[in-house]
Chain A
Amino acid sequence: MRKIVMPGDLIAKNPRAAGYGTYVEKGKVYAKFLGLLDKTDTSVRVIPLKGRYIPSSGDVVIGIVREVTANGWIVDVYSPYQAFLPVLEYPENAMRNKKVNELLDIGDAIIGKVLSIDPKMKVTLTMKDKVCKPVRVGRIVAINPARVPRVIGKKGSMIKMLKSELGIQIVVGQNGLIWINGDRRKVSIAEEAIYIIEEEAHTEGLTDRITEFIKKKKGELENAET
């Protein structure tokens, strides 16, 4: 069982071990927010249990276009900070002399990647990555961003299982938005499974239980068809 720590809890005395979710004062390492303690001999970090998504370079995110400007789009990534996607970061092969709002318009959803963040938290996105694309089909579901690692699973195990068992596409945004595409009924099963993962969190054998859940649902689906 991992220990729950709160802001200000002393979690290590070696400042060199201080990792994510910690702060150092007078050589001591304290927890910065509510979370689970992950401590080894050489490192200490706090895995958040709650909190808004704060963009970080390289994150895959799903966002909604809120404004179209002359040289790009303002994208809501469900964070305190809106992101900007410059036209120059849109995949060139898809541009074909189209106007900015013909490429993406207000209300359109995209899968993007965080390209950079300046010290004032101006966030720039790119779509020049194979995972990135405008989202025109499928479904987007939202979960607490702090629970994203659970949906992904250890080395991506949970997500791999969902994809292969259901034969659908899934992209998990670090900002807690998840895109699912495929057979409508299977997408619904995936959505339900994701909510279970979000709720049941760090329970033993979660992957097994989710696998079982999906098999059961798939069975029900096949029975209904026959």
Chain B
Amino acid sequence: MQKPKLIVDGKRLDGRGFEELRPIKIEAGVLKRADGSCYLEMGKNKIIAAVYGPREVHPRHLQDPSKAVIRYRYNMAPFSVEERKKPGPDRRSVEISKVSREALEPVIMKELFPRSGIDVFVEVLQADAGTRTACLNAASVALIDAGVAMRGMVTSVAVAKVEGNIVLDPMKEEDNYGDADVPIAFLIRNDRIESIALLQMDGRLTLEEMKKAMELAKKGAMQIYRLQREAIMKKYMKEETEEPEEENEQ
């Protein structure tokens, strides 16, 4: 297959500049049965995340007497990609689930819920590059919507190298034909990037390019962080518009 030209006149195939995100739509609390949930679109990615828990863990030997056990399941729907994906976890999903769980584990206050489990289920309904980052963003909103105790927000974005340029939030073509892909997630607290929660990379980058990629990811993440907050605010502002008149006494 001929590699298409990905940058024309300083613009990307979908008309974006190098430091521009795809359109993002986030809605919190979209599922009735789950304790917390989120629907998220990032470009053509369509993601739905649900959180259950803290709840009892079965079988019992999976319990941890000192903290909650976090489970994260990244799953792609068979119809989410051009060629039907065989249902169930493949090696890629197993790895994504692992690193995503590891990004959330140090942020969730697991020690408050010994012996319990917190399950994060994320379904990719439509995939369009950067699904793992979109999923983490949705999962983070769903966790907050579930009322789970956390140190802050986890926000994720990918950066790519395309025809010599470092670009934010690569789309499918840039992911397929680009020279490097760096998915990153941050812990953001009180409008400030605190640390790196997820970091992967494949492709080829010099040290300088890597540093540039990190700076761009931070910029992009701050924008997504604000949208994540807005989504949660939007859901609860409706309900919580006025001064409460009750106190916690019986």
**A–B in direct contact per CB < 8 Å:** yes
What are 23 of the A-B contact pairs (CB < 8 Å)?
Answer: A1-B243, A4-B232, A4-B237, A7-B144, A30-B189, A30-B190, A32-B109, A33-B147, A49-B147, A51-B148, A80-B113, A80-B117, A82-B56, A119-B114, A120-B66, A120-B115, A149-B246, A149-B247, A155-B249, A172-B250, A204-B242, A204-B245, A206-B246
Nearest B residue to A151, CB-CB:
B246
Instruction: Tell yes or no: B229 within 8 A of A by CB.
Output: yes
Residues 1-40 of chain A, each 1 if its beta carbon lies under 8 Å from chain B, else 0 = 1101011111000000000000100000010111110000
A8 & B188 in contact (Cβ 8 Å cutoff): yes
Closest chain-A Cβ to B146's Cβ sits at a distance in Å of: 6
A2 & B249 in contact (Cβ 8 Å cutoff): no
Q: Roughly how many angstroms separate A200 CA and B249 CA in the complex, as a whole number? A: 19
Closest chain-A Cβ to B58's Cβ sits at a distance in Å of: 12
Q: Roughly how many angstroms separate A121 CA and B244 CA in the complex, as a whole number? A: 31
Instruction: Tell yes or no: B36 within 8 A of A by CB.
Output: yes
- Give residues in B with beta carbon < 8 Å to A: 35-36, 53-56, 65-66, 109, 112-117, 144-153, 188-190, 229, 232-233, 236-237, 239-250
B114 & A120 in contact (Cβ 8 Å cutoff): yes
Please give, as numbers and ranges, the residues of chain B lying within 8 Å of A121 by CB-CB distance: 113-116
B240 & A2 in contact (Cβ 8 Å cutoff): yes
Closest chain-B Cβ to A63's Cβ sits at a distance in Å of: 14
Instruction: Tell yes or no: A213 within 8 A of B by CB.
Output: no
Given contacts A6-B232, A10-B190, A23-B109, contact A80 B53 (CB under 8 A): yes
Instruction: Tell yes or no: A50 within 8 A of B by CB.
Output: yes
B240 & A81 in contact (Cβ 8 Å cutoff): no
Q: Which of B114, B145, B249 contacts A34 (CB 8 A)?
A: B145
Q: Roughly how many angstroms separate A156 CA and B250 CA in the complex, as a whole number? A: 4
Q: Roughly how many angstroms separate A221 CA and B109 CA in the complex, as a whole number? A: 50
Majority SS at the chain B contact face: loop
Of A23, A60, A201, A207, most buried by chain B (CB within 10 Å of CB) is: A201
The 6 closest A-B pairs by CB, nearest first: A51-B147, A8-B152, A50-B147, A8-B189, A80-B116, A7-B150
Q: Roughly how many angstroms separate A199 CA and B239 CA in the complex, as a whole number? A: 8
Q: Roughly how many angstroms separate A47 CA and B246 CA in the complex, as a whole number? A: 11
* Number of cross-chain contacts by CB at 8 Å: 145
Instruction: Tell yes or no: A153 within 8 A of B by CB.
Output: yes
B242 & A33 in contact (Cβ 8 Å cutoff): no
A157 & B246 in contact (Cβ 8 Å cutoff): yes
Instruction: Tell yes or no: A202 within 8 A of B by CB.
Output: yes
A120 & B65 in contact (Cβ 8 Å cutoff): yes
Closest chain-A Cβ to B229's Cβ sits at a distance in Å of: 6
B153 & A154 in contact (Cβ 8 Å cutoff): no
Nearest B residue to A208, CB-CB:
B245
Instruction: Tell yes or no: A48 within 8 A of B by CB.
Output: yes
Residues 49-73 of chain A, each 1 if its beta carbon lies under 8 Å from chain B, else 0 = 1111010000010000000000000
User: In A133-169, which residues have CB < 8 Å from any B CB?
Assistant: 146, 149-150, 152-159
Q: Roughly how many angstroms separate A206 CA and B200 CA in the complex, as a whole number? A: 51
Excluding A2-B240, A6-B229, A36-B244, 12 further A-B contacts by CB distance (< 8 Å) are A1-B240, A1-B243, A2-B244, A4-B237, A6-B153, A54-B112, A80-B117, A120-B66, A120-B114, A121-B116, A202-B245, A203-B242
Given contacts A34-B232, A80-B53, A201-B240, contact A50 B246 (CB under 8 A): no
Closest chain-A Cβ to B60's Cβ sits at a distance in Å of: 11
Please give, as numbers and ranges, the residues of chain B lying within 8 Å of A9 by CB-CB distance: 190
User: In A191-218, which residues have CB < 8 Å from any B CB?
Assistant: 199-207
